[in-house]
A = this chain, B = another copy of it.
Amino acid sequence: MGRVSPINPSKSDPSHGRCPNCSFTAWCLPANLTLDESIQFHGRIKHDRRIQRNEYLHHANSPLSSLYMVKSGFLKTSRMVDGEGRQQVISFLTVGELVGLDAIGTGKHLCDTVALKESRLCGMRYVDFEELCHAIPALQRHFHRMMSAEIVRNQGIMILLGGMCAEKRVAMFLLNISRRLAAQGFSETHFRLPMTREELGSYLGLKFETVSRAFSRLSNAQLIAVDHKNVDIRSLVQLEQIIDDHDTRQFLARHTKLGTNWVRSEIENAARVIRQSDWTRPLVGV
């Protein structure tokens, strides 16, 4: 039996299903299913559930019924942090990402999951999914790999939260978003963040003012351009460099031109050059 090659989702043949570019079908392409298996899998999918901005996909404590794949849009998951209602954002989810893995252990969702913008999802009843995993060994292996990958992702966040300064956290986040969007065929340098500074801060372990300042500093250093929720990455390379750089402030200072207008910038730089060594000297052409 011929194997379905792991081609780009956008080119996948929708002949055996009513949901063109079905995100769930696309998700299991790397599992390298046979055509039969692929049809079998596709047959259990509930296609194209839509939810509006601020609408909940599910609340904490609700039972797990289905796993969902994001087909379009953006969602966040968040969890209660203490006795009283403080919530912390646990993840942001976008196209091609699976929702509900954390509920399998207990059979109940621990997270609220809510749409940050209008979103479409494909779902599959979890009991069906388990059944298919047993019927299709390749799917089982793929699922194990995906669960493991989720664990590794979370370890990445733990590293971010455990030891990085504000600018590195934001830089890592931007690179992460960039890669995830690029993987789905969107621009890797130019996007609109669907979450507020406060939600982002909650995710990154920072207050919203600190997030805002971090954006400003990265912007001053010309690594990005920010206009409210719109982000333009000016240098993916430097954004990556800053994460490994031991002295973040110095790294940013090297690339920063001070002030918001030419005159002020020139004056302050001139003063600095006179007073100190030339490490604050702006880039050529300023």
Which A residues are closer than 8 A to B by beta carbons?
Answer: 79, 81-84, 86, 88, 90, 101-106, 110-111, 130, 133-134, 137, 140-141, 143-152, 154-155, 157-159, 161-163, 202-205, 243-244, 246
Distance in angstroms between the alpha carbons of A133 and B148 in the assembled complex: 16
Distance in angstroms between the alpha carbons of A130 and B134 in the assembled complex: 11
Are the C-beta atoms of A162 and B103 separated by less than 8 Å?
Answer: no
Are the C-beta atoms of B105 and A149 separated by less than 8 Å?
Answer: yes
Measured CB to CB, the nearest residue on chain B to A152 is: B102
Are the C-beta atoms of B244 and A82 separated by less than 8 Å?
Answer: yes
Minimum-distance CB pairs A-B, first 8: A104-B148, A105-B148, A161-B161, A162-B205, A83-B244, A105-B149, A154-B154, A147-B147
Are the C-beta atoms of A79 and B147 separated by less than 8 Å?
Answer: no
Report B-chain residues with C-beta under 8 Å of the C-beta of A155: 79, 90, 102, 110-111, 154
**Taking A140-B130, A140-B134 as contacts, is the C-beta distance between A105 and B146 under 8 angstroms?**
yes
Are the C-beta atoms of B137 and A147 separated by less than 8 Å?
Answer: no
Of the candidates B82, B152, B158, the one whose C-beta lies within 8 Å of that of A243 is B82
Report B-chain residues with C-beta under 8 Å of the C-beta of A86: 163
Are the C-beta atoms of B103 and A148 separated by less than 8 Å?
Answer: yes
Report B-chain residues with C-beta under 8 Å of the C-beta of A243: 82
**Taking A83-B244, A134-B140, A163-B88 as contacts, is the C-beta distance between A102 and B158 under 8 angstroms?**
no
Report B-chain residues with C-beta under 8 Å of the C-beta of A111: 155
Are the C-beta atoms of A158 and B90 separated by less than 8 Å?
Answer: yes
Distance in angstroms between the alpha carbons of A141 and B127 in the assembled complex: 10
Measured CB to CB, the nearest residue on chain B to A157 is: B158
Of the candidates B151, B159, B161, B246, the one whose C-beta lies within 8 Å of that of A147 is B151
Report B-chain residues with C-beta under 8 Å of the C-beta of A106: 148-149, 152
